[in-house]
Amino acid sequence: MKKEVFILSISLLFGIAFSQECKYHKVKSGESLEKIARNYGVSVQEILKANKNIKANKLKVGESLCIPQRKLAKTKTQDYAIYKVKKGDTLQSIAEKFGVDVQELKSFNNLKSEKVKEGQELKIPAKGTAKKQKKETQEYGTYVVQKSAKLEHVAKKLGVSQRELEELNPELKGKWLKKGTVVKVPKQEQKKEKREESYTVYKIKKGGRLEHVARSLGVSKKELERLNPELKGKWLSAGTEVKVPVKVKKEEPKVSYKTYVVQKSAKLEHVAKKLGVSQRELEELNPDLKGKWLKKGTVVKVPVKVEEKGQVAHPVEKPLEERVEEKRQAIRPVEKPSEERRQESTSKAEAETPQEKKQEDAEVKISKNSLPMPVDGKISKNGRGITIATDCGKPVKVVDSGRVIYSGGDLKAYGNMVIVDHGDFISIYAYNEKNLVKRGDSVSKGQQIALVGRKNEGEECMLYFELRSKEGIPLDPTEYIRNTQ
């Protein structure tokens, strides 16, 4: 009898000595057992006792270590729930579902590996079941998949967390969902989906990516990716349909208008820039003039904001950045329809006299033959500007002081291009091998702004050069630059 009591006492002592709680630590690169022990305030020997399968001088990166917490075993049995493993479950997914640590779940069930089988029963610590029960009490809505996708695609479309969807739909994790599959979604996010803005469909005219469409239409790339998750990162061929968000129009203030008489042939966009008003407002007030070339003497309605007290306010000047951006958009080469070109040439022939031409020239504040060559070479007329054949890599110099309003390669036909606003006129330099300035830079006359490149990566080295009035109307460069051939 005494012998039995002695053995029982020894067992109890060992139970108290070794019934320690573990805090798990994942070994990182460069860590030693001494450093880990020091960080947790335990001895190396204690860690070695709690981890029989490790060697002090051979730790593996990523290996999980049990760090003893020096607590006596609790006599009270810990509460737990039983969970039956379902098809497709992993120990990781079960741990995430119940909000417990994988190693804790593994230790709680005395598992030697993380492999689990369908139908296997696992004990889930009480804190995990409480978390799960709390989540299960949450209300949720449903979403019907429109076309084949995964949970990650549904998450991006609805703007919810992929993890939340996986917790609500564990049986769908990692699977491709057919059209018509019902997915549980958090109810608050379902309401968000119902409030989702409407969209229109845009058909791509030539190959590109969503970022190109975003830049072209002036919308956010993130918005396009949210509406078109299946197109994210892909090259889109001509004809591809892209959903584009439709912004809710804000209530606009009441406007009255005054009139402006066109001084020389122009479009509404040129009038808008000259007067510092929105082209869209002009088109709304003058729908019959939209897209047409206006003869000299045409009367255009110009909006004037009306204040609440009925007093007429002066038109508010737009921020500098907005004016610069509009000026850059104005110089994009746009080919006029043949009918418009014919009407324009007819109207000019009828309306213009030598005296009127002199008046127009006087409005362009550049003296003839006053600008230096941007680069030495052979000049040829090319559409609205000129090309200067020369050596590749040769420095391109700005013809006058000004500010860079564009530097980039958005227009494929023109390659790298720099546009400089000189106040009274605009100069354009394209086909560049490399741009040496960026948007917003101030440049001095004769400063190097680019290096000569090739047209559309062809064999011949050349610079494309244009001059335009401050309204964006093309000027003949050969009349204003010196030493032309």
Q: According to the model, what pLDDT value does residue 78 have?
A: 56
Superfamily of domain 378-479: Glucose Permease (Domain IIA) (2.70.70.10)
CA 221 – CA 243 distance, rounded (Å) = 12
Do 480 and 424 touch, CB atoms closer than 8 A? no
Superfamily of domain 199-245: LysM domain (3.10.350.10)
CA 229 – CA 243 distance, rounded (Å) = 10
CA 285 – CA 291 distance, rounded (Å) = 13
CA 161 – CA 165 distance, rounded (Å) = 7
Do 424 and 417 touch, CB atoms closer than 8 A? no
The distance between the two most distant Cα atoms of the chain, rounded to a whole number of Å, is 132
CA 353 – CA 356 distance, rounded (Å) = 5
CA 238 – CA 205 distance, rounded (Å) = 5
Q: Does domain 80-136 have CATH number 3.10.350.10?
A: yes
Closest CA to 104 of 144, 66, 54, 150: 66
Length of the chain in residues, anyone? 485
Do 92 and 102 touch, CB atoms closer than 8 A? yes
Q: According to the model, what pLDDT value does residue 163 have?
A: 84
Coil, helix or strand at residue 47: helix
- Dihedral pair phi/psi, residue 48, rounded to 5°: -65, -35
Do 187 and 140 touch, CB atoms closer than 8 A? yes
In tens digits, the chain (485 residues) has pLDDT values of 444 434 333 343 444 344 457 888 888 888 888 888 877 878 888 888 888 888 777 788 888 888 887 654 443 455 678 888 888 888 888 888 887 888 888 888 888 888 888 888 888 886 544 444 444 445 677 888 888 889 988 888 887 888 888 888 888 888 999 888 888 888 754 444 444 456 788 888 878 888 888 887 878 888 888 888 888 888 888 888 888 887 644 444 455 678 888 888 889 988 888 888 888 888 888 888 888 889 888 888 888 753 333 333 344 444 444 444 554 554 444 444 444 444 444 444 444 434 334 334 435 677 888 899 999 999 998 888 999 999 999 999 999 999 999 999 888 788 899 999 998 899 999 999 999 999 999 999 999 999 999 987 778 899 999 999 888 888 989 988 886 55
Q: According to the model, what pLDDT value does residue 3 have?
A: 43
Q: Which helix (H) or strand (E) holds 143?
A: strand 140-144
CA 444 – CA 463 distance, rounded (Å) = 20
Neighbours of 79 (CB within 10 A): 12
Task: Tell me, rounded to whole angstroms, the distance of Cα 360 from its chain centroid.
Answer: 44
Return the CATH number of the domain spanning residue range 2-68.
Answer: 3.10.350.10
Q: According to the model, what pLDDT value does residue 467 have?
A: 92
CA 240 – CA 231 distance, rounded (Å) = 10
Location of structure tokens 């005296």: 355
Task: Tell me, rounded to whole angstroms, the distance of Cα 76 from its chain centroid.
Answer: 55
Q: pTM score > 0.85 for this model?
A: no
Handedness of CA 144, 147, 151, 157 (dihedral sign): negative
Which pair of tokens denotes residue 238?
């001509």
CA 203 – CA 256 distance, rounded (Å) = 37
Rounded (5°) CA angle 389-395-400: 95
CA 105 – CA 126 distance, rounded (Å) = 11
What's 140-194's CATH class? alpha beta
Residues 6+ apart with CB under 8 A from 483: 373
Encoded amino acid at 25, one letter:
H
CA 95 – CA 107 distance, rounded (Å) = 12
What beta strand segments (E) does 225-279 contain? 241-245, 255-261
Location of structure tokens 């007093």: 311
Location of structure tokens 């022939």: 349
Rounded (5°) CA angle 359-360-366: 105
Closest CA to 398 of 378, 376, 373: 373
Domain boundaries, the chain: 2-68, 80-136, 140-194, 199-245, 255-330, 378-479
In the 3-class helix/strand/coil scheme, how is 206-251 assigned residue by residue?
CCECHHHHHHHHCCCHHHHHHHCHHHCCCCECCCCEEEEECCCCCC
Using a CB cutoff of 8 Å and minimum separation of 24, what contacts does 179-182 make?
A: 179/145, 179/146, 179/147, 179/148, 180/144, 180/145, 181/144, 181/145, 182/142, 182/143, 182/144, 182/145
Coil, helix or strand at residue 372: coil
CA 242 – CA 77 distance, rounded (Å) = 59
Answer yes or no: same fold for 2-68 and 80-136.
yes
What's 255-330's CATH class? alpha beta
